[in-house]
Amino acid sequence: MRALIIDDSRAMRSILVGILDEAGFDTVPVADAEEALALLDSDRNFELALVDWNLPAMSGLELVVALRKIPNLEDLRLMMVTTETELERVREALDSGADEYIMKPFDKEMLLEKLTLLGIDV
Protein backbone atom coordinates (compact mmCIF):
# COMPACT_ATOMS: atom_id res chain seq x y z
CA MET A 1 0.00 0.00 0.00
CA ARG A 2 1.19 3.48 -0.79
CA ALA A 3 0.31 6.61 1.13
CA LEU A 4 0.76 10.23 0.20
CA ILE A 5 1.31 12.57 3.13
CA ILE A 6 0.74 16.28 2.65
CA ASP A 7 1.78 18.44 5.60
CA ASP A 8 3.90 21.56 5.76
CA SER A 9 5.34 20.68 9.15
CA ARG A 10 8.49 18.62 8.91
CA ALA A 11 7.90 17.20 12.39
CA MET A 12 4.35 16.13 11.56
CA ARG A 13 5.47 14.55 8.28
CA SER A 14 8.05 12.51 10.09
CA ILE A 15 5.55 11.36 12.75
CA LEU A 16 3.06 10.27 10.08
CA VAL A 17 5.77 8.59 7.99
CA GLY A 18 6.96 6.76 11.11
CA ILE A 19 3.51 5.38 11.97
CA LEU A 20 2.61 4.41 8.40
CA ASP A 21 6.01 2.86 7.66
CA GLU A 22 5.62 0.67 10.69
CA ALA A 23 2.13 -0.29 9.54
CA GLY A 24 3.64 -1.52 6.29
CA PHE A 25 2.98 1.40 3.96
CA ASP A 26 5.27 2.91 1.38
CA THR A 27 5.05 6.59 2.19
CA VAL A 28 5.65 9.66 0.06
CA PRO A 29 5.72 12.86 2.15
CA VAL A 30 5.32 16.27 0.51
CA ALA A 31 5.12 19.77 2.00
CA ASP A 32 2.35 21.44 0.01
CA ALA A 33 -0.68 20.88 -2.21
CA GLU A 34 1.07 21.96 -5.41
CA GLU A 35 3.78 19.39 -4.92
CA ALA A 36 1.16 16.69 -4.30
CA LEU A 37 -0.75 17.57 -7.47
CA ALA A 38 2.43 17.69 -9.57
CA LEU A 39 3.39 14.27 -8.30
CA LEU A 40 -0.04 12.82 -9.04
CA ASP A 41 0.27 14.01 -12.65
CA SER A 42 2.54 11.08 -13.33
CA ASP A 43 1.93 8.69 -10.43
CA ARG A 44 -1.55 7.81 -9.22
CA ASN A 45 -0.69 4.58 -7.55
CA PHE A 46 -1.82 5.58 -4.04
CA GLU A 47 -4.40 3.99 -1.74
CA LEU A 48 -4.32 6.64 0.97
CA ALA A 49 -3.72 10.36 1.32
CA LEU A 50 -3.36 12.20 4.63
CA VAL A 51 -4.05 15.89 4.14
CA ASP A 52 -3.30 18.73 6.56
CA TRP A 53 -5.83 21.57 6.47
CA ASN A 54 -3.49 24.54 6.84
CA LEU A 55 -1.08 24.39 3.94
CA PRO A 56 0.99 27.37 2.70
CA ALA A 57 -0.73 28.28 -0.60
CA MET A 58 -3.60 26.07 -1.68
CA SER A 59 -5.44 24.84 1.44
CA GLY A 60 -5.92 21.21 2.39
CA LEU A 61 -9.63 21.56 1.77
CA GLU A 62 -9.03 22.90 -1.76
CA LEU A 63 -6.61 20.04 -2.28
CA VAL A 64 -9.28 17.51 -1.29
CA VAL A 65 -11.65 19.03 -3.84
CA ALA A 66 -8.92 18.93 -6.49
CA LEU A 67 -7.98 15.33 -5.67
CA ARG A 68 -11.57 14.22 -6.07
CA LYS A 69 -11.58 15.57 -9.64
CA ILE A 70 -8.55 13.58 -10.76
CA PRO A 71 -9.54 10.66 -12.97
CA ASN A 72 -8.39 7.16 -12.01
CA LEU A 73 -8.00 8.19 -8.40
CA GLU A 74 -11.56 7.49 -7.25
CA ASP A 75 -10.48 4.70 -4.88
CA LEU A 76 -8.05 6.91 -3.01
CA ARG A 77 -9.01 7.10 0.65
CA LEU A 78 -8.68 10.62 1.94
CA MET A 79 -8.23 11.62 5.54
CA MET A 80 -7.81 15.14 6.91
CA VAL A 81 -5.21 15.32 9.68
CA THR A 82 -5.60 18.69 11.27
CA THR A 83 -5.71 21.04 14.24
CA GLU A 84 -9.08 22.32 12.99
CA THR A 85 -11.57 21.05 15.54
CA GLU A 86 -14.81 22.85 14.68
CA LEU A 87 -17.73 20.59 13.86
CA GLU A 88 -18.43 22.75 10.80
CA ARG A 89 -14.92 22.08 9.53
CA VAL A 90 -15.38 18.33 9.81
CA ARG A 91 -18.64 18.63 7.91
CA GLU A 92 -17.04 20.80 5.22
CA ALA A 93 -14.21 18.31 4.76
CA LEU A 94 -16.58 15.35 4.41
CA ASP A 95 -18.83 17.29 2.04
CA SER A 96 -15.79 18.14 -0.08
CA GLY A 97 -14.85 14.49 -0.48
CA ALA A 98 -12.78 13.52 2.54
CA ASP A 99 -13.58 10.06 3.93
CA GLU A 100 -12.25 10.54 7.43
CA TYR A 101 -11.03 13.23 9.75
CA ILE A 102 -8.62 13.10 12.66
CA MET A 103 -7.95 16.00 14.98
CA LYS A 104 -4.53 16.76 16.36
CA PRO A 105 -3.30 15.79 18.87
CA PHE A 106 -3.61 12.07 18.25
CA ASP A 107 -1.46 9.05 18.93
CA LYS A 108 -0.44 6.11 16.81
CA GLU A 109 -3.27 3.90 18.00
CA MET A 110 -5.89 6.52 17.17
CA LEU A 111 -4.49 6.96 13.67
CA LEU A 112 -4.47 3.22 13.08
CA GLU A 113 -8.08 2.99 14.32
CA LYS A 114 -9.03 5.61 11.75
CA LEU A 115 -7.35 3.57 9.01
CA THR A 116 -9.43 0.57 10.06
CA LEU A 117 -12.51 2.75 9.62
CA LEU A 118 -11.34 3.43 6.08
CA GLY A 119 -11.29 -0.30 5.45
CA ILE A 120 -7.51 -0.47 5.50
CA ASP A 121 -6.06 -3.47 7.31
CA VAL A 122 -3.27 -2.59 9.66
Partner 1 sequence: MRASDLPAPQSAISPLAFDYIRRLVRKESSIVLDDGKTYLVTSRLGPLARECRFESVAAFISHLQSTSTGKLHTLAVEAIATTETSFFRDHHPFAALRDEILPEMVRRRSTSRTLSIWSAACSSGQEPHSIAMILRDRFANLEGWNLQLAASDISRRMTDRAREGLYTQLEVNRGLPAPYLVRFFEQTEDRWLLREDVRKLFRFFHQNLAEPWSVVAPVDILILRNVLIYFDVDMRREVLRRVRGLLRPDGYLLLGSAETTLNIDDLFTRVPVGRAVFYQVTPKKGQER
Give the residues lining the site for partner 1 (CB under 8 A).
Answer: 85-87, 90-91, 93-94, 98-103, 106, 109-110, 113, 116-117
Taking the complex as a whole, the smallest distance from the CB of residue 119 to partner 1 amounts, in Å, to 10
Q: Alpha-carbon dihedral of residues 72, 26, 114, 68, nearest 10 degrees?
A: -20
Task: Between 37 and 106, name the residue whose CB sits nearer to partner 1.
Answer: 106
Task: Between 10 and 108, name the residue whose CB sits nearer to partner 1.
Answer: 108
Task: Between 22 and 113, name the residue whose CB sits nearer to partner 1.
Answer: 113
Taking the complex as a whole, the smallest distance from the CB of residue 91 to partner 1 amounts, in Å, to 5
Task: Between 43 and 107, name the residue whose CB sits nearer to partner 1.
Answer: 107
Taking the complex as a whole, the smallest distance from the CB of residue 39 to partner 1 amounts, in Å, to 26
d(CA 52, CA 94) in angstroms, rounded, equals 14
The residues that bridge with 122 in the sheet, in sequence order, are none
Taking the complex as a whole, the smallest distance from the CB of residue 64 to partner 1 amounts, in Å, to 13
Strand duo 2-6 + 26-30: pairing: parallel
Q: Are 40 and 70 in contact (CB under 8 A)?
A: yes
